[in-house]
């Protein structure tokens, strides 16, 4: 990578040269230790090279060293003949330089030179040039809250800080690369509510053939596929984005994944912005695959419940939106035989507390009830009305919606 000289690190010639160099070093060590009469290192060098045995190594170190060099240069040594015919030995500097070019650089080398940075002026002659970085950009945002920082701020150990970062989320921390005077936005819904990990909520739009008394043409339905159903009547399907915030408020939590189909009002525009505001993941079902969105099947169950109650009581069709809200609530409070619920109601499965069904079981759909009307005169009058549901966002727990003779619902 750093030399223009041809280099093949797998050439067998280099292996032979390295072995020859090692052998030469061993012979030199024998010559240097030739004065010792230990019988181990003293052997007949001359006999092995020229066929004469009357001269020995002892007392002739310098002469024998020169003889070994000449023999190695001529290639007469029998030990060298086991290798391929070597070319001329490379100088040590050139051999070292070529060996360096075959070094594998580790992934932690930030400069790519295998060194400690751009410190060699011979390899990097342009070090004197001044460089200036005018802009930084990255696609991956690292968390600025490290275990070292958390350990210092909280006064805990590094292991405890690491476990804390793993067991918690830090989605509200801002990462500011450049100095900034911007005001940090304070609207963070994902910090106000609990995020349900691996929890999916499915959504789709239910359309009605009759315009309701409240001028509603459709409704947005949310469900977890296990009976927890939320029903929001709408005057237009373009208002589907407004139900995202309502769903979070009613669940008192944020699902990690929101599944919808490819309808434009559930894929683009305000709906996409609202889902991004709560930082939930979006998943789209495939075309012509309604089984991937469990809201499709839940809409069928809610429609059957609306028809059953309205036909049973012979109630006006223009009350379908009130009846849909009641049917969805009944499905949330009913202990279905789904194995995933373990005998619990969908309401308890989400909110982790046993629900009370008193407000919904006191009366039935479109059942006649007496109510006190305080709006007429000083003395209140008792009047007859029709029960159409529970007023969850008005008054106390036992507050209901009553449809009077004027057909204007009153709590």
Query: For every residue of 35-51, which 3-state class applies, written as one string?
Result: CCCCCCCCCCHHHHHHC
CA-based Rg of the chain, rounded to a whole angstrom? 43
CATH 3.30.420.10 intervals, the chain: 195-355
SS3 311: helix
Q: Are 329 and 309 in contact (CB under 8 A)?
A: no
Write down the pTM of the prediction: 0.58
Q: What does the alpha-carbon distance between residue 349 and residue 332 come to, in Å, rounded to a whole number?
A: 10
pLDDT tens, the chain, 411 aa long: 566 666 666 777 777 777 777 776 666 665 555 544 444 444 443 434 444 444 443 444 444 445 555 555 555 554 444 444 444 566 777 776 666 665 555 555 555 555 555 555 555 555 555 556 556 666 655 666 788 887 887 778 888 888 888 877 666 666 555 555 555 555 556 566 778 888 899 999 999 999 999 999 999 999 999 999 999 999 999 999 999 999 998 988 889 899 999 888 888 889 988 888 888 888 999 888 888 999 999 999 999 999 999 999 999 999 999 999 999 999 999 988 889 988 889 999 998 888 888 888 888 999 999 988 877 666 678 888 999 999 988 888 888 899 987 777 776
Two structure tokens written together for 140:
């991956």
Pairing of strands 218-223, 281-284: unpaired
List Cα–Cα distances, 42 to 33, 67, 72, in angstroms.
8, 16, 19
Q: What does the alpha-carbon distance between residue 285 and residue 371 come to, in Å, rounded to a whole number?
A: 47
SS3 255: strand
Q: What does the alpha-carbon distance between residue 65 and residue 72 come to, in Å, rounded to a whole number?
A: 11
The CATH number of domain 195-355 is 3.30.420.10: yes
Give me the residue label for tokens 């004027």. Answer: 406
Q: What does the alpha-carbon distance between residue 84 and residue 8 come to, in Å, rounded to a whole number?
A: 17
Helix (H) or strand (E) segment spanning residue 233: strand 229-234
SS3 269: helix
């Amino acid at each position: 990578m750093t030399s223009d000289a041809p280099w093949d690190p797998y050439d067998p010639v280099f292996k032979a040269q390295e072995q020859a160099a090692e052998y030469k070093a061993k012979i030199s060590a024998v010559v240097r230790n030739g004065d010792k009469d230990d019988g181990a290192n003293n052997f007949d060098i001359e006999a092995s090279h020229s066929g004469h045995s009357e001269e020995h190594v002892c007392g002739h170190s310098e002469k024998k060293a020169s003889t070994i060099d000449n023999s190695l240069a001529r290639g007469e040594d029998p030990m060298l003949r086991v290798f391929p015919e070597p070319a001329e030995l490379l100088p040590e500097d050139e051999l070292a330089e070529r060996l360096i070019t075959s070094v594998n650089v580790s992934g932690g080398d930030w400069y790519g030179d295998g060194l400690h940075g751009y410190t060699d002026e011979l390899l990097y002659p342009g070090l004197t040039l001044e460089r200036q970085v005018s802009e930084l950009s990255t696609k991956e945002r690292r968390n600025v809250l490290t275990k070292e920082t958390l350990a210092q701020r909280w006064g805990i150990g590094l292991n405890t800080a690491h476990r804390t970062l793993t067991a918690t989320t830090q989605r509200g921390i801002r990462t500011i690369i450049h100095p900034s005077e911007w005001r940090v936005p304070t609207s963070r819904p994902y910090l106000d509510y609990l995020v349900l990990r691996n929890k999916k909520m499915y959504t789709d739009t239910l359309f009605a053939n009759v315009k309701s008394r409240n001028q509603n043409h459709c409704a947005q339905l949310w469900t977890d596929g296990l009976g927890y159903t939320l029903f929001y009547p709408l005057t237009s399907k373009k208002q589907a984005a407004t139900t995202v915030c309502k769903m979070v408020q009613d669940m008192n939590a944020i699902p990690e994944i929101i599944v919808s189909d490819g309808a434009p009002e559930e894929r683009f525009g305000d709906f996409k912005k609202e889902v991004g505001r709560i930082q939930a993941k979006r998943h789209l079902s495939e075309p012509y695959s309604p089984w991937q969105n469990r809201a499709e099947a839940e809409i069928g169950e809610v429609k059957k419940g609306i028809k059953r109650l309205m036909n049973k009581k012979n109630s006006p069709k223009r009350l379908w939106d009130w009846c849909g809200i009641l049917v969805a609530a009944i499905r949330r409070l009913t202990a279905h035989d789904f194995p995933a619920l373990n005998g619990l109601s969908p309401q308890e499965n989400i909110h982790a507390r046993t629900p009370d069904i008193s407000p919904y079981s006191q009366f039935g759909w479109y059942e006649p009830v007496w109510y006190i009307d305080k709006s007429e005169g000083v003395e209140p009058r008792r009047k007859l009305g029709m029960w159409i549901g529970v007023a969850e966002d008005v008054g106390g727990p036992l507050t209901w919606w009553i449809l009077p003779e004027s057909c204007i619902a009153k709590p």
